[in-house]
């Protein structure tokens, strides 16, 4: 199994997950710092080698839960990365996934192989091993694109939220200001969210009506 350079020459498959959330009005990615070999003390994407009888989706889900304690969130296959030189220690194909976590809902906790987990802004990422930066970048592009033609943004929302909360999510991901009236008109016309009877009072201003998504967990195509 080892060739004469000490390199394992069997093929392995891993799943790696780019976890996005919006914290402190910023789009962030969840990274873990591994305590074990081969990458001691370096921040990397949560991930795992694929079990011999394990489904790809299940592997990504498990990697996410084991490494970060996050579960029950939107998770979708992104792309497979397989340059022979991407990992110098071994030949590993990475089937990458991305996940969206509702803002401030989950407190990720390090798994038993991890030193720490942490949220990082996209423009403040630490050095990442292998092609993890390319994976993050591909996931970011996918997220931006899907915002335009699907209800993917709802996956960032807690069970109830205000229209301003939702608009903030769009503005942060698209990195541009949106018109409040047009945004509300479009969202309400899409028939994907509904008003609750509740309002949120905070600060010294008019309370905001709370909404909920009509089909939580489902990402639908719109337009």
Partner interacting with residue 53 (select from a second copy, DNA, none; CB below 5-8 Å by kind): a second copy
Closest CB 75 distance from a second copy, rounded Å: 14
Can you spell out the DSSP letters for the chain? -B-TTS-EEEEEEEEEEEEEEEETTEEEEEEEEE-SSSSTT-EE--EEEPPTT--HHHHHHHHHHHHH---SSEEEEEEEE--TTS-TTEEEEEEEEEEE--TTT------TTEEEEEEEEGGG----STTHHHHHHHHHHHHHHHHHHBSGGGGGS-SSB-HHHHHHHHHHHHTS---HHHHHHHHHHTT-EEEEEEEE--SSSPPEEEEEESSTT---B--
Q: Which residues bind DNA (CB under 7 A)?
A: 162-164, 179-182, 184-186, 189, 199, 201, 203-209, 223
Partner interacting with residue 95 (select from DNA, a second copy, none; CB below 5-8 Å by kind): a second copy
Nearer to a second copy, 14 or 166 (CB): 14
Nearer to DNA, 2 or 189 (CB): 189
Partner interacting with residue 144 (select from DNA, a second copy, none; CB below 5-8 Å by kind): none
Partner interacting with residue 177 (select from a second copy, DNA, none; CB below 5-8 Å by kind): none
Closest CB 140 distance from DNA, rounded Å: 22
Which pair of tokens denotes residue 91? 């030949």
Closest CB 174 distance from DNA, rounded Å: 11
Nearer to a second copy, 88 or 207 (CB): 88
Partner interacting with residue 208 (select from a second copy, DNA, none; CB below 5-8 Å by kind): DNA
Nearer to DNA, 95 or 152 (CB): 152
Nearer to a second copy, 147 or 208 (CB): 147
Is 30 within 8 Å of 118 (Cβ atoms)?
A: yes
The contacts of residue 29 (CB under 8 Å, 6+ apart) are: 18, 19, 20, 119, 120, 122, 125, 136
Closest CB 86 distance from a second copy, rounded Å: 9
Q: Which residues bind a second copy (CB under 8 A)?
A: 9-13, 50, 52-56, 77, 79-84, 91, 93, 95
Strands 193-200 and 43-44: unpaired
Strand partners of residue 15: 48, 95
Closest CB 161 distance from DNA, rounded Å: 10
Closest CB 82 distance from a second copy, rounded Å: 4
């Amino acid at each position: 199994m080892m060739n004469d350079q000490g390199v394992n020459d069997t093929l392995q498959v891993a799943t790696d997950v780019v976890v996005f959330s919006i914290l402190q009005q910023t789009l962030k990615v969840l990274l873990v710092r591994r305590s074990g070999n081969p990458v001691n003390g370096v921040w990397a994407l949560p991930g795992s080698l694929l079990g011999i009888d394990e489904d790809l989706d299940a592997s990504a889900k498990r990697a996410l839960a084991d490494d970060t304690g996050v579960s029950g969130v939107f998770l979708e296959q992104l792309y497979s990365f397989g340059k022979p030189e991407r990992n110098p220690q071994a030949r590993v194909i990475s089937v990458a996934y991305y996940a969206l976590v509702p803002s401030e809902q989950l407190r990720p906790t390090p798994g038993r192989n991890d030193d720490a987990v942490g949220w990082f802004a996209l423009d403040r990422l630490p050095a990442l091993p292998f092609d993890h930066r390319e994976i993050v970048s591909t996931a970011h592009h996918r997220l931006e694109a899907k915002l335009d033609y699907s209800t993917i943004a709802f996956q960032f929302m807690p069970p109830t939220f205000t229209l301003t909360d939702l608009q903030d999510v769009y503005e942060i991901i698209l990195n541009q200001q949106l018109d409040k009236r047009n945004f509300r008109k479009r969202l309400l016309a899409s028939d994907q969210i509904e008003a609750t009877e509740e309002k949120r009072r905070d600060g010294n201003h008019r309370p905001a009506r709370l909404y909920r998504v009509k089909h939580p967990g489902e990402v639908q195509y719109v337009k």
